[in-house]
Chain A
């Protein structure tokens, strides 16, 4: 840092060195200590200790297990003995008349095989559940006296919940609930059921080779349309939502670039001699950037309502400020010699810009633009969640229902894939365009 004076004694030098060491030691110790102090403050300011009591771990468990598994409900109305079988208990997943999964046998006594020896029987009067290693639980729902349950001798285990009007048995194989009006069995499966076809489709449950065979023999169109209009997973809507999200990012980014480029010239020292205009343009950039996409989204949603246009315009306005700043910095760093060279051949002003300035700044601008295209795909997801458009909307809707966690997992996967794809695509394009240009 400084040159050492030759007239310093050894002691002075030693002192100097140890002083420096001490200072270094202090910063080495002080910085982490400061960091730790701040994080401790945040720890208590955010009430992290109280979090464990507020957190709902049950919710977390259902979330995780539901995201990779589903359950099928078999439900009997005890008043008229009608049986309904539905995946996730949803109307969209109800088995049509006469169609049952192979582990349910309908009859006067309906037998539900939960595997590993667990069998539930819905008799005309009594519901029975054979539990291996425990015995048979019998329950008789009556109109007047509630649910009459008969358990094997001994203490009631904690996985059986018994009250006057309700019996609930939860085992690894499934779950049985009997109330006065309803008897219900849940059986759990791994995977995303009905992902390809819903139960009302003739292609449900067919193997891939069968489908391929049918597709070759001319049913490809119907197969695709059954998949595309799947009511449970709504593939068509999801595809549109992803398209909308990418569209928002695309329109926002390139629209902002088109608005910002001419304005950026106004904000540079070398192209705009008027100081007041320069100052004003720069403050406009700072303003639109400072207001932030969140507030622009709120304001625009009032004028245009929810949808992709609102999101695209919010990105466009915010990024006009960002691009204006970046572009004007790039333009200020332009080499004047090339412009002079073009001018010396007798070029007029537009030609000077076209051949002297633009070729110099294109690589910088393009690479910034493509970088923002990727990051705006993510912003478009976020803005979509707020203003209601694209995959962000689908995601928030699925989370609000608090039970379609398999759909949430599916959307999250799609979002990650979409962003990574855009990242790869913009990187590829950047390499192609910039190497091709220079």
Chain B
């Protein structure tokens, strides 16, 4: 607006206008900041009031529990290796839940993504339907499906696997369809012209283009799913989480076992994070090199 009338204004007027503009901007920014701080502060107040114990009574006790657990574990340090071995099967189960659900979720997510991308969908008129399906799958927290399935199927790894796979399918379906949108449709058209059917067009025309990106997203998801499968174990779906809850509910006397599970879980998460980070790095760099050659 100022530009249009600039010719009629003197320099001082322009300067005044500019300073008032910046001042107004600063005031808005300040108000926004104050509102944000007020919301945060009152939010903490409300959360504090509705909590069983208050923050100010409890903050000095944060370290009590870890101290008790660690000191008991330290007293029985000799038994630690045998605990680590004893809980190793549970760790394998946790990893299996995460890996299997990531695989199934990736396959289902690929399907959902292909079905909801224009130019690739088998039934273009159903694109909105498949988009909604992946939206809903993505919105359901794993624990909801897991708890309901545990009631029907009984405790164990299968409910957790199904629950995580459904959420993974939705989450990956969305990410994959974003990748698909950037893929070139020319190979698909070329394959079409030589009479390839839908699955051949997708397998030979689309997947090679998007493969590295898919794998990279799937690896990221695997990291997330390891954590999810530990949490679901806590509500009765097997694996490390289940053992952790048992050891904890036993209370004092089995804290050394709890500590062993903490260690296993921590190490697994860190190792998987690092490994998948490395792999993803290599994937993105490798694909760059391939594109240049």
Interface residues of A (CB under 8 A from B): 1, 35, 38-39, 42, 45-48, 51, 54-57, 59-60, 63, 240, 244, 247-248, 250-251, 254-255, 286, 289-295, 298-300, 302-310, 312, 378-379, 381-382, 385-386, 388-389, 392, 395-396, 399, 402, 408, 412, 415-416, 419-420, 423
Q: Once the chains bind, are B266 and A290 in contact (CB under 8 Å)? A: yes
Q: Once the chains bind, are B154 and A55 in contact (CB under 8 Å)? A: yes
By a CB distance below 8 angstroms, the chain B residues around A408 are 148
Are A399 and B147 also in contact (CB < 8 A) when A251-B44, A290-B273 are? Answer: yes
CB within 8 A of A308: which of B51, B59, B151? Answer: B51
| Interface of B (DSSP majority class) | helix
Q: List 14 A-B contacts (CB under 8 A).
A: A38-B103, A39-B103, A46-B157, A55-B154, A244-B47, A244-B50, A247-B43, A388-B52, A389-B51, A399-B147, A402-B151, A412-B148, A415-B144, A416-B136
By a CB distance below 8 angstroms, the chain A residues around B144 are 381, 395, 412, 415
Q: Could you tell me the distance between the alpha carbons of A187 and B195 in the complex, rounded to whole angstroms? A: 60
CB within 8 A of B103: which of A35, A45, A286, A304? Answer: A35
Q: Once the chains bind, are A386 and B141 in contact (CB under 8 Å)? A: no
Q: Once the chains bind, are A303 and B156 in contact (CB under 8 Å)? A: no
CB-nearest residue of chain A to B101 = A42
By a CB distance below 8 angstroms, the chain B residues around A59 are 151-152
Q: Once the chains bind, are A247 and B46 in contact (CB under 8 Å)? A: yes
By a CB distance below 8 angstroms, the chain B residues around A54 are 153-154, 156
Q: Could you tell me the distance between the alpha carbons of A378 and B171 in the complex, rounded to whole angstroms? A: 12
Give the interface size class of chain B: 35 or more
Q: Once the chains bind, are A300 and B231 in contact (CB under 8 Å)? A: no
Q: Could you tell me the distance between the alpha carbons of A251 and B51 in the complex, rounded to whole angstroms? A: 14
Q: Could you tell me the distance between the alpha carbons of A399 and B99 in the complex, rounded to whole angstroms? A: 28
CB within 8 A of B65: which of A45, A303, A395? Answer: A303
Q: Could you tell me the distance between the alpha carbons of A289 and B66 in the complex, rounded to whole angstroms? A: 17
Most buried by A among B52, B230, B234: B52
Are A399 and B148 also in contact (CB < 8 A) when A47-B156, A286-B270, A294-B241 are? Answer: yes
Are A309 and B231 also in contact (CB < 8 A) when A46-B156, A60-B152 are? Answer: no
Q: Could you tell me the distance between the alpha carbons of A299 and B248 in the complex, rounded to whole angstroms? A: 11
B243 smallest CB distance to A (angstroms) = 13
Q: Once the chains bind, are A420 and B148 in contact (CB under 8 Å)? A: no
Contact with A along B39-63 (1 / 0, CB 8 A): 0100110111011111100110110
